[in-house]
Structure 1
């Protein structure tokens, strides 16, 4: 993978703001050719620097209950538990962490009953889960995938 330069960071910042921006608009904004923008974006995609995704609002999809669930796993089974949890459609995120919990997942549900069923029927059937600590999101202050900051692209 080629090291990211100032132009790559500028392109990423623009796409963070609006991933539907036309290559011609980006080229005009940065004073470069459309071909340069197209080839750089292609390279960034091929190198796995970013991907185009749709980030829907769970609340607007009727998923009114969002939970963060910290899991304690049996030694040696963390990976297999994580792989199994990754297959569940309710689960949006699975990560291994240091600290109190071995795995932390984020999952979305239509209502509290679905969450209860998920914990009592789905999680309880996963071999290797010893304990689950469920926290409900009461209010969301930020949900962003914007990692490129102004200081990252400053000259």
Structure 2
């Protein structure tokens, strides 16, 4: 999907505040509310945009958060990623370049839950050769407002 300037500005506005009313975004961009609503829905349907509430898991009762680097058997990257995305504990799964083939973020209730996810499920995914875990001690930044810049007002667009 090719994004134009209005799409990018809608994304930027919703990244800054996912609860911002379409009417306010429309006013800031100098377009109608229906244009903003239609475009936001189109962006969501295309998988470009997802508006969700983000919470720090370590502050809402989850005691273990970790990043896990995986080395996978050649030719099994897509199957491994697909299998792991089905785990309810995974919040991020990405194929990467470097020392690992996949990086996974998991959020678990406690050490026992993390141990079960790692040793009883992740290690049993066909194609996983090895793992290395990095426990998150404290989150200093969790941001999702990248890539589209600031929202311009009508005056700035003119």
Cα deviation, residue 72, structure 1: 1.0
In the TM superposition, what whole-angstrom CA distance separates every residue of 1:84-128 from its partner, at most 9, and x where no partner exists? 111111111111111111111100111112112222221232222
Match of 1:85 in 2: 84
7-16 vs 44-53, which moves further: 44-53
What stretches of structure 2 of length at least 5 have no aligned partner? none
Q: How many residues align?
A: 153
Alpha-carbon contact 2:14-2:51 (below 8 Å) kept: no
- Secondary structure, aligned partner of 1:44: helix
In the TM superposition, what whole-angstrom CA distance separates every residue of 1:4-49 from its partner, at most 9, and x where no partner exists? 3332222222111111222211222223222232233233334433
Match of 2:29 in 1: 30
102-111 vs 124-133, which moves further: 124-133
Match of 2:149 in 1: 149
In the TM superposition, what whole-angstrom CA distance separates every residue of 1:49-69 from its partner, at most 9, and x where no partner exists? 312233233124311211000
TM-score relative to the length of structure 1 = 0.84
| 1:10 corresponds to 2:13 | no
What stretches of structure 1 of length at least 5 have no aligned partner? none
